[in-house]
Amino acid sequence: MKKERWNKIQIVQQAFTIEGKVHPRFEHTLRVLEKALELNQMHHLNLRIEQIEDAALFHDIAKLQPPHELMHYLKTHYSHLCAELLSYPAIWHAFVGAIVAKEQYGITDSDVCHAILYHTTGRPEMTDLEKLIFISDYVENGRMGIAFEQARKMANQNLDRAIIVILEQTFAYLKKKGEPIYSLSQETYDYYVKRGEADV
Ligand code: DGI
Ligand code: FE
Ligand code: FE
């Protein structure tokens, strides 16, 4: 393994270590990187490995922060979205992660920060890097069950169709839990469904 990648992994492991114990989120993060590298090759995306490493390793960097800290970042960096975001605490870490990666870990590449920002909701017209992280997050090999297997298979075949499958499964999960769909998640879904229809 290249030294730079190893160093970054150490930094992320440190960030996910609480009272001397490494949180399972770290293993998830490594599996997202592994999956992203695999899909990059499989689909000949030719993305820069360093961008994949940074986006995958830091995508959940804010996931373990307590809600009041996440809210502080939302208030200072996304004040225009704050009121709406109140009803969607599960997606706060993506918005905050993009800021933390930049301010605390010196990730200045805006493509990478966007991939972190959109890793939970997606967005219409995602870049290949954004798609790669959005999909790899969901289909990394540690997620077990029929729904994940199905999405994993689709990710090997067609990335745009995998986005649709992932969002359909996420919406079904949210419905079961009585959670609302965020506007951007819905826009992502509508965009990729429409694109899929245009392609046939
Ligand atoms: O952080 P991870 O667990 O690796 O995965 P993630 O960043 O995709 O976050 C998954 C969580 O986000 C899961 O609990 C579902 C939730 N989520 C995703 N899209 C939406 C959402 N929650 C709401 N309320 N609305 C959404 O549109
Ligand atoms: Fe996440
Ligand atoms: Fe994740």
> Which of ligand 1's atoms lies nearest the C-alpha of 180?
24
Q: From the CB of residue 94, how many other CB atoms can be counted at a distance below 10 Å?
A: 20
Residue 53 Cβ contacting ligand 1 at under 6 Å: no
Instruction: Name which of 118, 120, 136 is nearest 170 in CA terms.
Output: 120
Residue 140 Cβ contacting ligand 1 at under 6 Å: no
Which ligand is closest to the CA of 97, given by its number? 2
Interval between CA 16 and ligand 3 midpoint (Å): 13
Interval between CA 90 and ligand 1 midpoint (Å): 5
Pocket test for ligand 1, best of 174, 184, 188 (most atoms within 8 A of CB): 174
Give the domain CATH number at 183: 1.10.3210.10
Interval between CA 200 and ligand 2 midpoint (Å): 32
3 against 101, higher pLDDT = 101
Q: What's the total number of domains in the chain? A: 1
Question: What pLDDT digit, counting tens, does each position of 140-193 carry?
Answer: 999 999 999 999 999 999 999 999 999 999 999 999 999 999 999 999 999 999
Write out the residue range of the structural domain in which residue 25 sits: 3-199
Quick one: tokens of 67? 């809600």
Q: For residues 66 and 48, give the distance between their C-alpha atoms in angstroms, rounded to a whole number.
A: 33
Quick one: tokens of 129? 């890097």
Q: Evaluate if pTM is beyond 0.75.
A: yes
> Which of ligand 1's atoms lies nearest the C-alpha of 87?
24
Interval between CA 91 and ligand 1 midpoint (Å): 6
What is the SS3 assignment for 18? Answer: strand
Question: What pLDDT digit, counting tens, does each position of 75-111 carry?
Answer: 999 999 999 999 999 999 999 999 999 999 999 999 9
Quick one: tokens of 198? 């245009």
Residue 189 Cβ contacting ligand 1 at under 6 Å: no
Query: What pLDDT does 137 receive?
Result: 98
Reported residue count of the chain is 200
Q: For residues 155 and 147, give the distance between their C-alpha atoms in angstroms, rounded to a whole number.
A: 12
Residue 94 Cβ contacting ligand 1 at under 6 Å: yes
| DSSP letter assigned to residue 60 | T
Scanning 20-158, the segments in alpha helix (DSSP H) are 24-42, 49-58, 67-77, 82-85, 92-105, 110-117, 128-139, 146-157
Q: For residues 123 and 101, give the distance between their C-alpha atoms in angstroms, rounded to a whole number.
A: 20
Query: What pLDDT does 199 receive?
Result: 77
Question: What pLDDT digit, counting tens, does each position of 30-56 carry?
Answer: 999 999 999 999 999 999 999 999 999
The answer to whether residue 200 scores a pLDDT higher than 80 is: no
Q: From the CB of residue 11, how many other CB atoms can be counted at a distance below 10 Å?
A: 13
